[in-house]
Amino acid sequence: MPARKLVLDFQNQSFFECGATLLAVLAFPSATDVVLAEIVASICSEYLRTRFEQSDNLDELVKARYAFRDKRRIKRDLRTLDRAIRDRMAAAHVAVALLQNAIGHRPNLPGSVKRLSLNQLSEFAMGDANQSSPENFETRIWRPSLPVIHVAAAFAVAISDRERAGEKRTAYGNLIADAELVGNVVNYIEKFKNIIDNNNLKIDRRKLISIRITPPQ
């Protein structure tokens, strides 16, 4: 199956729609376009509802396909999204270590990690994903994350950058409307894809999701 190609069309879609699409693909890289569209709709509906509650400004808040979305469906989709993003971030911990090592930087890892093998890194990260063994981590977390591993690593590093700068806590929801964060994530995505392309990281670069941006005019 060819790798998915994702277009973030900032010319013809609202920023939050593009951010929601990126977030949905990060969480569910193997989902069908129909399923992804449903997840995106739930993310956008929740985002607009929250904005409406916090502001009297109705500009760009009313989108007919989101306004009447079933609340139970939104809650169910977002609960599933939470679990999926948790798994992607656990995989990102492994990916960031591999990427750092590939460019000659020593990863900041606990002493229990004696060498940068996938098995030892999986053992280090498996607790974040509630997995009981490295084998389970590799099967249930690492492999499903591979099509978006460059995206997951980019998001993890962009968040880490903010934390080191002493900024307020950043969560995955910031991908929906935080232009600075999205820009940083996109830059890291390209950088990490190039590292994967040019190093033997046992990641099939042909299966990485391709992301193209149509910037706003």
Phi, psi of 210 (to 5 degrees): -90, 130
Q: Where are the domains of the chain?
A: 5-214
Write the burial class of residue 166 (CB in 10 Å: 0-12 exposed, 13-18 middle, 19+ buried).
exposed
From first to last of its 217 residues, what are the pLDDT tens digits of the chain? 567 888 899 888 889 999 999 999 999 999 999 999 999 999 998 888 877 766 555 555 555 567 778 889 999 999 999 999 999 999 998 899 889 888 888 777 766 666 777 777 777 777 766 776 878 888 889 999 999 999 999 999 999 998 888 876 778 888 888 888 998 999 999 999 999 988 878 788 888 999 888 877 6
Which of 179, 154, 181, 152 has the alpha carbon at shortest distance from 165? 181
pLDDT value, residue 171: 81
pLDDT value, residue 25: 95
Answer whether 187's CB lies under 8 Å from 157's CB. no
